[in-house]
Amino acid sequence: MLAKRIIPCLDVKDGTTVKGINFVNLREAGDPVELGAEYSRQGADELVYLDITASHEGRKTFTELVKKVAANINIPFTVGGGINELSDVERLLNAGADKISVNSAALRHPELIDEIARNFGSQVCVVAIDAHPENKEWICYLNGGRIPADKKLLQWAVEAEERGAGEILFTSMGHDGVKNGYANDALSVLADTLHIPVIASGGAGKMEHFRDVFVKGKADAALAASVFHFGEIKIAGLKQYLRSENVNVR
């Protein structure tokens, strides 16, 4: 079994790391480059940087910030937000990103996944899915959780994999920032259905939630933000705890 990964996520707005609850009520959490470097030192396996208002505001992702991050950390990192075409992917990879994450653009133009995989390899393409359960069906959302799409979570994740996605990053919008645990039931269905890694996002509040997302949710990686940003959980301590619970972490 592959070792599980711990991935801090840095939501960036106007050059500052921010964190909210259920995608709203944002508060500042620090400098994204300094935070990333600190997580790298603490033993994070990867990082994710999301320009959270790029798609909504219709502008390009923060290339200069990506260059600074690449110069200051030595672990792989993924960049997302406002990526709409191959030239965006190329620009961010050239700036130093290891992977890119697509969400709204892929829902609107699914062939973008095929193009990224064909031109840069599946390992570069992370398809992020923001979803919310409605009448027992998980519905996907566009533009940072603002607009419902006509796709269901499992159906879309399977299609993304078939088109060449290397990983699925699933955020349960209702769990985001509330710290009551991850959406383990939905995650385990994804993990059982897909052949590519599933990254869990939304709901980390204590160390037990990470154990549960790996054991019950069968996730390959767990992404979290505020518990790391505000010092509630330290990565080294978290990995030590997970090992004591027989979870194989890096």
Catalytically active residues are 11, 130
Dihedral sign (CA 27, 28, 33, 39): negative
**Residue 87 burial by CB count (10 A; 0-12/13-18/19+): exposed, middle or buried?**
exposed
Whether the Cβ atoms of residue 51 and residue 104 lie closer than 8 Å to each other? no
- For residue 247, CA distances in Å to 20, 130, 138, 159, 239 come to 29, 26, 28, 30, 9
Please report, as a single letter, which amino acid is at residue 176.
D
In the numeric block, the tokens 């990526």 are attached to 83
Distance of alpha carbon 172 from alpha carbon 132, whole angstroms: 6
